[in-house]
Homo-oligomer: A and B are copies of this chain.
Amino acid sequence: MDVLRIGLIGAGRIGKIHGENSARFIPGARLEGIADIAMQEEQQTWAKGLGVRLISAHPQDILGDPAIDAVLICSATDTHADLISAAAAAGKHIFCEKPIDLSVPRVKAALAAVKKAGVTLQIGFNRRFDRTFKRIRELTLAGEIGDVQLIKITSRDPAPPPQAYVAVSGGIFMDMMIHDFDMARFQAGSEITQVYAMGAVLIDPEIGEAGDLDTAIVSLTFANGALGVIDNSRKAVYGYDQRVEVFGSRGATRGENETADQVTLATASGLVSAKPLHFFLERYQGAYRAELASFVDAVLHHRSPEVSGEDGLENMYAALAAGKSLKEKRPVSIDEVRVE
């Protein structure tokens, strides 16, 4: 196989990104089909513009097409687990957006189906593929900072999501900080063993009324002895703030935000430079492309995906433990929430 024939399931915002990337930017990929259960005319036009052969309102059409090798699952979260199982049963390789599901047993069932089928599954923790965060990991692996001792992750959105989204999101730990748990595990090269969560509603009372938080700090311990901390805010007025620091015995790395330009304006009021890029579509544009290229490469070259289903499950455990910690006002070990 030298080209991976891809079917996209779910043509919403994130689906369109993966669709365009697979159609245009990944040399080894070819986008063959697009299915969305609520396919609109606008989406059909978009799909046709990409020159896609199969356009459908039925994901089964993708799963049942023998000329499709792999599927990109970008539909609503509550459909992910079933689609993974069905795709695995159909022998398709799978790229699935995060999270796999909000229920551990359903995640485990999906992972079991994948294992049984022997197909490749990669989960959409795209930030590992960001050029800055990837470089930090490379420097650690190259020994430039010695043993990792501290990890600090800043992750703040420019504005809270709509109330309707908050309601079904699974909460700040499962929806937002899950990316940071993944980043923490990635940078530590070690599993999280315990979390302690603090949270507050400082931005929007409606978020609190929905039972969620908009501000949180979670402390981490890792199996290799390192310590870590993540802070989240749903509203950084200066833009999407995504930074990582890794401190080690022989040095430290800092990854700063990307900006829209490299201009400094000096006036009598001070020196002004560009804010961080607005949000994830801008900041992680390159990372989305790189993660898909990596998935395609993994399938074509029979290597393990860079982000596995087990990564998805471990990140989920961290989110669940954070929720439990917040509720019970105490540190919670990951083993307490692990389901065998």
Contacts and interface: CB of A to CB of B under 8 A. Distances in A.
Interface of A: 24, 131-132, 135-136, 139, 144-145, 147, 149-150, 152, 154, 156, 196, 198-200, 202-203, 215-217, 219, 221, 225-229, 231, 233, 235-239, 241, 247, 249-258, 260-275, 329-331
A254 B263 contact: yes
B260 A131 contact: yes
B150 A231 contact: yes
Contacts of A216: 227
A287 to B, nearest CB: 12
13 contacts: A136-B263, A144-B267, A150-B215, A196-B331, A198-B219, A199-B227, A200-B225, A215-B227, A227-B231, A231-B247, A238-B268, A254-B266, A271-B274
A221 B200 CA distance: 10
A270 B268 contact: no
A267 B250 contact: yes
Contact of A271 (B229, B250, B261, B275): B275
A275 to B, nearest CB: 6
Contacts of A268: 237-238, 250-251, 275
B272 A272 contact: yes
B267 A270 contact: no
B225 A219 contact: no
B200 A237 contact: no
A196 B266 CA distance: 29
B275 A272 contact: no
B265 A250 contact: no
A154 B233 CA distance: 19
B219 A196 contact: yes
A139 B270 CA distance: 14
A255 B266 contact: no
A132 B274 CA distance: 10
Contacts of A272: 269-272
A139 B263 contact: yes
From A132, A152, A263, A329, residue with most partner B Cβ within 10 Å: A263
Contact of A233 (B150, B225, B254): B150
Given A215-B150, A221-B198, A330-B330, A270 B262 contact: no
A274 B265 contact: no
A139 B265 contact: yes
A238 B271 contact: yes
A149 B265 contact: no
Contacts of A231: 150, 152, 227, 229, 247
Contact of A263 (B132, B152, B269): B132
A268 B256 CA distance: 18
A154 to B, nearest CB: 8
Nearest to A221: B198
